[in-house]
């Protein structure tokens, strides 16, 4: 961990984005985290890829971890992630001629970080060698249908409602909220509360952490969320699903690898199985490889780091 260097990239006049980096290879790999994660969730992958000769970069989104919050929270969008990613690539001095001609960047996205990874490859296909996503496949942008197919207590519907999650989380300290979400998202069932429950009530106080998630890990996440809070994490992604993207194409045409744990609760979302196991998946991502990890949960890169590292490295080597 001491080998990972930290810096800040300025976006615009005053916004500082925290960036973690290791390695000096010619090809860069940029990691895009999910929730409740931050750059630290990629620690195992960053070190492994740097040791294999790649330049590994991970950043905290606006309002996450050590990055500054957006100037106007209510106007924060998914597009901010695309724009910040572009600024980071330029600020880290990837040679422009090499960058544009040889496509020296891979994107690796987890959970909702899969969306900006996929969309950035559509918006900037000349910049991207390939995309790896974990936990969430490519879902073509469109109106959210969760309210039509899942009950009111579905966690995304609850967290989408302004003030609901704030009141729920506010009953506990930051460490307990992070702990509860990690436990919830490590299960194989979709988090759904009943009418008289809040999402945090789905975890009993004496529930142990997953065996692969240490107290030290929890302390790291908690310390970073103590700084940032959860306001922007609730805005992006949960309150921004209606954002409209002006895409030149709706197909991910770069090579893509999708890694999913077979015990990941996301696999039970309506329609997701078709986007992971069926031919429909390759309608939107024609150059797609799919790998399932039998005991894997939603945090598969932290749960089985060596296996995930090998899958990612094999994909990068194949497409370098």
Q: Is 126 helix (H, G, I), strand (E, B) or coil?
A: helix
CA distance 260 to 105: 22
The answer to whether 69 and 232 are in contact (CB under 8 A) is yes
Those residues whose C-beta lies under 8 Å from the C-beta of residue 166, and which sit 6 or more positions away, are 230, 231, 234
Active site positions, annotated: 111, 238, 298
Question: What is the phi/psi pair of residue 54, to 5°?
Answer: -105, 160
Question: What is the phi/psi pair of residue 45, to 5°?
Answer: -70, -40
C-alpha angle 86-228-235 in degrees, rounded to nearest 5: 65
Dihedral of CA atoms 267, 140, 126, 69 in degrees, nearest 10, equals: -80
| Preceding amide of 36 cis, omega within 30 | yes
Alpha helix positions (H), 258-319: 272-277, 280-284, 300-303, 305-318
Question: Token pair for residue 168?
Answer: 């729920």
Q: What is the DSSP letter of 13?
A: T
Cross-strand pairs, 290? 258
The answer to whether 129 and 254 are in contact (CB under 8 A) is yes
CA distance 263 to 300: 10
Those residues whose C-beta lies under 8 Å from the C-beta of residue 24, and which sit 6 or more positions away, are 55
């Amino acid at each position: 961990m001491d080998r990972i260097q930290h810096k800040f990239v300025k976006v615009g006049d005053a916004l500082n984005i925290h960036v973690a980096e290791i390695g000096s290879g010619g090809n860069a790999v940029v990691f895009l985290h999910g929730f409740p994660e931050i750059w630290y969730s990629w620690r195992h992958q960053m070190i492994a890829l740097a040791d294999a000769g790649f330049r590994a970069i991970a950043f905290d989104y606006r309002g996450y971890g050590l990055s500054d919050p957006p100037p106007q929270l209510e106007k924060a969008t998914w597009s901010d992630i695309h724009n910040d990613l572009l600024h980071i690539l330029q600020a880290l001095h990837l040679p422009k001629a090499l960058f544009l001609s040889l496509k020296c960047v891979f994107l690796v996205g987890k959970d909702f970080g899969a969306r900006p990874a996929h969309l950035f490859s559509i918006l900037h296909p000349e910049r991207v060698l390939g995309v790896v996503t974990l936990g969430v496949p490519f879902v073509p942008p469109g109106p959210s249908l969760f309210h039509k197919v899942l009950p009111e207590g579905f966690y995304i519907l609850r967290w989408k409602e302004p003030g609901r999650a704030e009141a729920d989380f506010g009953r506990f300290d930051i460490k307990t909220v992070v702990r509860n979400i990690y436990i919830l998202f490590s299960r194989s069932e979709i988090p759904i509360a009943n009418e008289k429950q809040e999402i945090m009530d789905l975890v009993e106080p004496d529930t142990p952490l997953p065996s692969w998630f240490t107290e030290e890990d929890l302390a790291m996440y908690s310390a970073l969320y103590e700084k940032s809070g959860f306001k922007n994490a609730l805005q992006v992604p949960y309150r921004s699903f209606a954002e409209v993207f002006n895409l030149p194409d709706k197909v991910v045409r770069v090579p893509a690898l999708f890694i999913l744990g077979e015990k990941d609760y996301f696999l039970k979302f309506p329609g997701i199985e078709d986007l992971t196991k069926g031919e429909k998946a390759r309608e939107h991502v024609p150059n797609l490889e799919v790998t399932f990890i039998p005991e894997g949960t939603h945090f598969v890169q932290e749960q089985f780091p060596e296996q995930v590292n090998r899958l990612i490295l094999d994909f990068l080597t194949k497409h370098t």
